Amino acid sequence: MQTPDNKNHRPDSVEEQILQESIVSAAGLKANQVIIGIKGDPSLRESAPLRKRYNSKVDSLFDQLEPQLEDLFLHRGIYRLFIGFNSGEIRTNSIFDPLRKEIHDAEKLVDSKYIHRHFPPIAYNEKIDLMRQLYATLRQSQQYRAMPDYWQNILNQRSDNWQPLEQEHIPAILSTVNHLRNIEEYYLRNISICIVQGIVRMQFNCDGTQIIDAHHFKQFLQENI
């Protein structure tokens, strides 16, 4: 039920404060940001050279997995992907069931028949159109319109200005994963890619997390790897 005051106009400063407070918003990184580093437990960095890399089934299968994962993004409903090397799990989010996350065994994902059974095909441009339709439907809902005006303004601007990650960036990112995994001592532990926000999130064998604008992923590699 709508409360009496939650439709009142709030000052622009409230919107600005919300936009400034989040590390990464639903729209992705801010226009002036390319990379964000979030520090974690410093003892992890000190002990990183002592922790030898575990060769998981994802490592042994990645040459076969890479084209399958690319297919999920470019020709099927997946919009977010998480690759966990130590756990051997691949997590996916699909536009056909956007509020749920699925977890798949890496060994199964190399099987094309498994891919066809679990991931309905859809062209990339049609997937993007469906995303826009979902956002438009949400904005027309009674619950959405019951939100405070300042939040509606923020979300409406995000939707109006939203652009998905261009297709050509996806194979360029996936093709570098093996190299990141093979870095001595500070190797990649997991990586997630989201075409809605256009970001790549990575955790290495040390403290903290790196969040990179996918458009500048190549620049990140050149400057840091």
| pLDDT tens digits, one per residue of 120-169 | 999 999 999 999 999 999 999 999 999 988 888 888 888 888 888 999 99
- Tell which wins on pLDDT, 105 or 3: 105
Q: Between the CA of residue 181 and those of 15, 53, 149, 222, what are the distances in Å? A: 40, 9, 45, 16
176 in any annotated domain? yes
Q: What residues make up the domain containing 108?
A: 31-123+168-224
139 in any annotated domain? no
pLDDT above 90 as % of the chain: 45
108 in any annotated domain? yes
189 in any annotated domain? yes
Q: Of 171, 220, 178, which Cα lies nearest the Cα of 193?
A: 171
24 in any annotated domain? no
What does the pLDDT read at residue 163?
Answer: 87
What does the pLDDT read at residue 160?
Answer: 85
Provide the residue type at 156 as one letter: N
What does the pLDDT read at residue 24?
Answer: 55
Q: Rounded to the nearest 5 degrees, what angle is found at the Cα of 126, between the Cα atoms of 125 and 130?
A: 120
pLDDT tens for each residue of 65-116: 999 999 999 999 999 999 998 888 999 999 999 999 999 999 999 999 999 9
Provide the residue type at 85 as one letter: F
pLDDT at 211 exceeding the cut of 50: yes
129 in any annotated domain? no
76 in any annotated domain? yes
Tokens of 74: 């470019």
pLDDT tens for each residue of 160-195: 888 889 999 999 999 999 888 887 777 888 999 999
In the chain, the number of structural domains is: 1
9 in any annotated domain? no
Residue pair 70/174 in contact by the 8 Å Cβ criterion: yes
What does the pLDDT read at residue 35?
Answer: 52
d(CA 8, CA 18): 17
What does the pLDDT read at residue 213?
Answer: 85
Asked whether the CA dihedral 142, 147, 150, 152 is positive or negative, the reply is: negative
- Tell which wins on pLDDT, 26 or 96: 96
On average, the pLDDT of the chain sits at: 82
Tokens of 70: 């690319």
pLDDT at 32 exceeding the cut of 90: no
What does the pLDDT read at residue 150?
Answer: 84
